A = this chain, B = another copy of it.
Amino acid sequence: MQADDDMRGDRSERAQAQRERRRMHILLAAAKLFGQRGYHGTSVADVIEAAEISRGTFYLYFDSKDAVFLELMEQFIQRIMSVVEVVDPEGATPTEHIAENVRRVVDVVFEHRDLTVMVLREGFGVRPEVDEKLGRFYGFVREMLEGALRNGARHGLTRKVDEALAATALIGAIKEMFLHELVLGHSHEDGRRAVSEALIDFGLRGLLIKSG
């Protein structure tokens, strides 16, 4: 009896684990394809071929193509958000804080290359739900950046600038650098460090030696 229970428990656990692994497998395959060919360029047929599963199996694990895309997008957003620490405006010089945030974000990005490319290359207009998710995410990022800029200005670290415009520029710069590195990157282990440093460098120091 006990053995029986144990066996059943084992089997159920193993089944559950297997199921989770398969879900992951599909998500990974989908992320790669979405990253390479975009949402519209990737068909369910592509995904099931890449994941080596049948049509039916795909729908056994996910409600729809959209659902997969949204889940992947959510995964990425969650990972990034969970790794960014809001800087205490009253705290000491925030420079190091920011640098650490950047490093952590870069780590997430480089450990989830496909996911990142997928999110970064897909602009608005794919699906309303996607737009909403992206909107909230970029809103969050923008707030982080604007806060950092305000904070930096208060501490006399950065020039007084139109924070909204500056945040937009920074977002664009970050996206492009990540995309460039991830798509063309030679996957040097130091690509990661180079990007980290470049982001901190450009973000905090700008390009000019002396004011114009």
Residues of A near any B CB (own CB < 8 A): 36-41, 95, 121-126, 149, 152, 156-159, 161-162, 165-166, 168-177, 179-180, 183, 194-195, 198, 201-212
What copy number does this chain have within its complex?
Answer: 4
CB contacts (< 8 Å) of A177 on chain B: these are 165, 168-169, 172
CB contacts (< 8 Å) of A195 on chain B: these are 165
A21 CB, nearest partner CB in chain B, Å: 22
Give the contacting residue for A209; candidates B124, B156, B198; CB below 8 A. B156
Give the contacting residue for A212; candidates B37, B159, B204; CB below 8 A. B204
Query: Closest 3 A-B residue pairs measured CB to CB?
Result: A206-B206, A172-B176, A40-B40
For this complex, 12 residue pairs linking A to B, each with C-beta atoms less than 8 Å apart, are: A37-B125, A124-B183, A156-B209, A157-B208, A165-B195, A166-B202, A169-B177, A169-B202, A172-B177, A173-B176, A202-B206, A205-B212
